[in-house]
Chain A
Amino acid sequence: MKKDLLGIGDLTEDEIHLVLDTAEAMREIAQRPIKKVPTLRGKTVVNLFYEPSTRTRTSFEIAEKRLSADTLNIAVAVSSVVKGETLADTARNIEAMAPDMIVIRHASSGAPHLLSRICRSRIINAGDGMHEHPTQALLDAFTIREHKKKIDGLKVTIVGDLLHSRVLRSNVLLLTRLGAEVWVSGPPTLVPVGLERHGVHVSSSIDEAVADADVVMMLRIQQERMHGAFFPSLREYFFTFGMTKARVARAKPDVIIMHPGPMNRGVEIDSEVADGPYSVILEQVANGVAVRMAVLYLLAGGSEGD
């Protein structure tokens, strides 16, 4: 593995499988009476979160603690960033205290790459702007592999706000690399230009995209990133692209329904589907801890660059 995990592009196919296999072994630790192994004893991990996050931050923190790392959370609202410090200066100051790893979430695409250039610590991208969210794609792949026993040849359909979604980008890179047939659907205003070049099938019809799908992944409508009118109303969006029981019925009988969270019930997904028998949404959350433990473990050792 390279020094940092900035995006799925950093990983070879073999390395993706290594992360997933390692996560498989890590998952058992959550079943033990003492949910902790001494592996990262004496390592310091800083969680630097410039965007609100409950799931990802908690997941990383639990993963770090189960590996016995010392963890430190910096949330921007209470840090010196509000006093005007630049990201680079914040990073240099944290670096001066010699942490071993920095997990960063930032609203600007490329923020982890900036840290990677100026820090000796290992950097893990926990979501940067509209760019990538590699650990989310890895935990999605882990969840799919667990249910389908493979990824190669599956039809995976991703529906929703494609334009603002780092989850989409990471998933497209990962799933196409592992041989899945990726379909996407969403309002034309929310489909990024050039997706087809990555081998993705784009359809304006959700019914066509979902037909015979093995996996359906719903993406959140990111109202906080929308500074314009991308569709007439949330009600109309639900009518056209919301995942309902009737639409699920068009997919394969053993389809699994995924969502990276947080869900907008009644916007991109009907409660009946979110809480229904095909939903693996909470499994995704549980698997997230194991996958992040795997990433932390694999990055903590040596790398080719050392």
Chain B
Amino acid sequence: MPVVLDADRISRTLTRIAHEILERNRGVDELALVGIRTRGVPIAKRLARAIRDINRHDVPTGALDITLYRDDLMRHAVGPQPLIRKTEIPFSIDDKKILLVDDVLYTGRTIRAALDALIDFGRPKAIQLVVLVDRGHRELPIKADYVGKNVPTSPTQSVQVRLTEVDGRDEVEITES
């Protein structure tokens, strides 16, 4: 199956997005990164590193688990509940520009849940969406502000993002499911 991004491309893509973030926000004041578990978290941390490499500023970084906000949670009568992991946002999001980070943007439902969750933490000045891959097929009116790569897919395909921190290597692959 085709690998659409290799380790080198992923690295350069994140550096490019870091530059875009700084350009669009005119610096790092008020910025904070929040990664959506699982793979949004290492991507957010890499973006924080990339931003520091560019202008020596640390951007606060948090992790968000959206399971408790999923819209399909109690609709399945069968099967065990999905695992809940820790949300760690060790800073106030009030009046911050939050960069919400995820690996793949697909139906938009995860992002909808993440927006609801974030609003429970405070009132950010703005929320911008960063994704490594946009594969289309939106079911909600949601659009990313920063996209690593647009990958046209069919609904029967699946997009596998692998990151060293979680999977042992960096790669984005499309598979037939």
Contact = CB atoms under 8 A, between A and B. Distances in A.
Interface centre among B68, B79, B83 (most CB of A within 10 A): B68
Contact of A28 (B74, B78, B87, B122): B87
Bin chain B's interface residue count: 20 to 34
B112 to A, nearest CB: 12
A28 B86 CA distance: 7
Nearest to A43: B74
B84 A33 contact: no
B121 to A, nearest CB: 6
Contact of A301 (B65, B68, B79, B88): B79
Given A25-B65, A38-B69, A302 B76 contact: yes
Interface in A88-118: none
A59 to B, nearest CB: 19
Helix, strand, loop or mixed for chain A's interface? loop
Contacts of A1: 80
B120 interface: yes
Contact of A26 (B77, B84, B120): B84
B135 to A, nearest CB: 27
A39 B87 CA distance: 15
A302 B73 contact: no
A81 B84 CA distance: 39
B85 A25 contact: yes
Contact of B78 (A43, A300, A306): A306
A38 B88 contact: no
Given A25-B65, A28-B88, A302-B76, A297 B81 contact: yes
Given A25-B85, A25-B87, A28-B88, A301 B74 contact: yes
Given A37-B69, A301-B74, A306-B78, A32 B121 contact: yes
A25 B120 contact: no
Interface in B149-175: none
Nearest to A23: B84
B53 interface: no
B68 A37 contact: yes
A25 B86 contact: yes
A1 B76 CA distance: 15
Interface in B54-103: 65, 68-69, 73-74, 76-81, 83-88
A36 interface: yes
Contacts of A37: 68-69, 117, 120
A39 B113 CA distance: 11
B116 interface: yes
Interface centre among B65, B83, B84, B88 (most CB of A within 10 A): B84
Nearest to A1: B80
A180 interface: no
B73 A39 contact: yes
A43 B86 CA distance: 24
Contact of A38 (B68, B76, B85): B68
Contacts of A34: 120-121
A83 B83 CA distance: 44
Contacts of A67: 68
A263 interface: no
A298 B81 CA distance: 6
A21 to B, nearest CB: 8
Nearest to A300: B74
Contacts of B87: 25, 28
A39 B7 CA distance: 37
B85 A301 contact: no
Contact of B120 (A18, A21, A36): A36
A11 interface: no
Interface in A31-49: 32-34, 36-40, 42-43
Contacts of B117: 37
Contact of A40 (B65, B74, B80): B74
25 contacts: A1-B80, A22-B83, A22-B84, A25-B65, A25-B86, A25-B87, A26-B84, A32-B121, A33-B121, A33-B122, A34-B121, A36-B120, A37-B68, A37-B69, A40-B74, A300-B74, A301-B73, A301-B79, A301-B80, A302-B76, A302-B77, A302-B78, A302-B80, A302-B81, A306-B77
Interface of B: 65, 68-69, 73-74, 76-81, 83-88, 116-117, 120-122
Interface of A: 1, 18, 21-22, 24-26, 28, 32-34, 36-40, 42-43, 67, 297-298, 300-303, 306
